[in-house]
Amino acid sequence: MILSINLKKMKRAHICLSFLVLAYVCNQWSRYSIVYLGSVATPKCGHTSVSDACYFDEGKEETPLCPSYKCHKYVIECTRCQQCLEEHDAARKNLQYGTCIDSAEYGVLNSFGYAISFSFCNLIAGRAADVYNRKMIVALAAIAWAVATLAQGLSRNFTELLFVRIFMGAAQAFSTPASYSLIADLFAVENRAFANGIFSLGVYVGGGLSSLSLLLSTVRSLYIL
């Protein structure tokens, strides 16, 4: 009888851990997706395009940030490069080009824009995990960052992206404290470190899966061609 109860508890613990790991993988996937979505190389149009800038003869350059950018310095060369980017659907593949943001703005989105809200909300999340239903916290946090991920894909400028990243950081902060607290309750001391190790794999698996943005972009490009 006792053995049967222990087996049921162990099964329940492992099922719960599986869901927590899955949530953590999705957490990290959505968190780091912007790194790859913004780093997908814009097409090299002849020998003039490098990264998000167009380089011309004698070191001259002008950067068509997005489809609506008006070339004003080297109009002929810049327009030609912009047309090439449009032909290769750069606005759909590259987050920077699609939302008219430069490298500095992209850096803000990828660092402070996320980290400040994430760090601050972690303090609140720890206390919330002590007081409220932890499973509900993880579930609601997952829904919130899923909405943020969708909004990130629909954003069209820096301001929209910044608000989305702040919201995503706040939502994702609530996942980890509640998850570790649940693991501590579900697993005995002798198994807890192993369970925490399994949960921590979500960081690397999710971060690795977010790089699929590059692969999906390549596959899509090949399909169009």
Mean pLDDT value across residues 2-29: 82
pLDDT band at 12 (very low <50, low <70, confident <90, very high): confident
Residues contacting 48, CB < 8 A, separation 6+:
54, 55, 56, 77, 80, 81
pLDDT for position 221: 47
Q: What confidence category does residue 217 fall into, taking pLDDT thresholds of 50, 70 and 90?
A: low
Q: What pLDDT shows up at residue 42?
A: 58
Of the pLDDT bands very low, low, confident and very high (cuts 50, 70, 90), residue 222 is: very low
97-149 residue pLDDT tens: 778 887 788 888 888 889 999 999 999 999 999 999 999 999 999 999 999 98
pLDDT value for 5: 54
List pLDDT tens digits, range 166-183. Answer: 999 999 999 999 999 999
For residue 44, what pLDDT is reported? 64
| Best CA proximity match to 132, nearest among 196, 183, 178, 184 | 178
| Residue-level pLDDT at 132 | 93
pLDDT tens digits, one per residue of 49-76 = 445 556 555 556 666 667 777 877 777 7
Instruction: Give the pLDDT score at 41.
Output: 53
Q: What is the mean pLDDT of the chain?
A: 80
- Confidence bin at 225 (pLDDT 50/70/90): very low
Residues of the chain with pLDDT > 70, as a percent, come to 78
Query: What is the chain's Cα-based Rg?
Result: 22
